[in-house]
Amino acid sequence: MALDERRTAAYFALLEASGLLQQLMEDQLRRDGELSYLQFFLLARLAEAPQGSMRMTDLADTLLHSRSGLSYQASKLESAGLLRREPSPDDERSVTAVITDQGRAKLADVLPGHVALVQEGMFDALDDRQADTLADALDSVRNRLRALAPSSAERRRNRS
């Protein structure tokens, strides 16, 4: 079974647009804050979380990254004073990442350039109706894919 022409075009446009936007973001984040896209995303997720903290396993699922790869990035951010890791208050086997004041300051440094890039690269190409339609469509796709994708714990069990 193949995708029809319109769906194939939409699929490839999404992949290319996503890749190009991520490449531009990587360049901007490195230039403005010496952060990788994953490090930025990790700090941004922590900043929006209650009390600025999340379990590392939940972060791995949110960021769609392996726990070992995320742990490596968290170590780099911890060394830079941008986050700290501590035992989870809810589960002694879990580790919680917490954004520091220095991490919030780093986000504040890179966020203006990041927002400007997203606005210029993505939303300046769309009118309000198109932006609403895109938001609705991507929300549906993301929710569907989240239901299909295994969690980081499930992926780890499947490798064993």
Q: For residue 153, tell me if it sits in a domain.
A: no
Beta-carbon contacts of 109 under 8 Å, excluding residues fewer than 6 positions away, are 32, 33
Q: For residue 149, tell me if it sits in a domain.
A: no
Q: For residue 47, tell me if it sits in a domain.
A: yes
Burial class for 87, CB neighbours closer than 10 Å (0-12, 13-18, 19+): exposed
Q: Which residues pair with 95 in a beta bridge?
A: 87
Residue type, 47: A
Q: How many Cβ atoms sit within 10 Å of the Cβ of residue 46?
A: 25
Residue 2: helix, strand or coil by DSSP?
A: coil
Q: For residue 151, tell me if it sits in a domain.
A: no
- Per-residue model confidence as pLDDT tens for the chain (160 residues): 788 999 999 999 999 999 999 999 999 999 999 999 999 999 999 999 989 999 988 888 877 667 777 888 899 999 999 999 998 877 777 889 999 999 999 999 999 999 999 999 999 999 999 999 999 999 999 899 888 877 655 555 555 5
Q: How many domains does the chain have?
A: 1
- Domain with residue 71: its CATH number is 1.10.10.10
Q: For residue 99, tell me if it sits in a domain.
A: yes
Question: Which two tokens mark 13?
Answer: 């446009």
Q: For residue 87, tell me if it sits in a domain.
A: yes
Q: For residue 61, tell me if it sits in a domain.
A: yes
Residue 97 to residue 38: CA distance in whole angstroms: 14
Which domain does 108 fall in, by range? 18-125
Q: Would you say 44 and 115 are in contact if contact means Cβ atoms under 8 Å apart?
A: no
Q: Would you say 22 and 64 are in contact if contact means Cβ atoms under 8 Å apart?
A: no
Question: Which two tokens mark 90?
Answer: 């809810």
Residue 50: helix, strand or coil by DSSP?
A: helix
Q: For residue 145, tell me if it sits in a domain.
A: no
Q: pLDDT at position 1, please?
A: 75
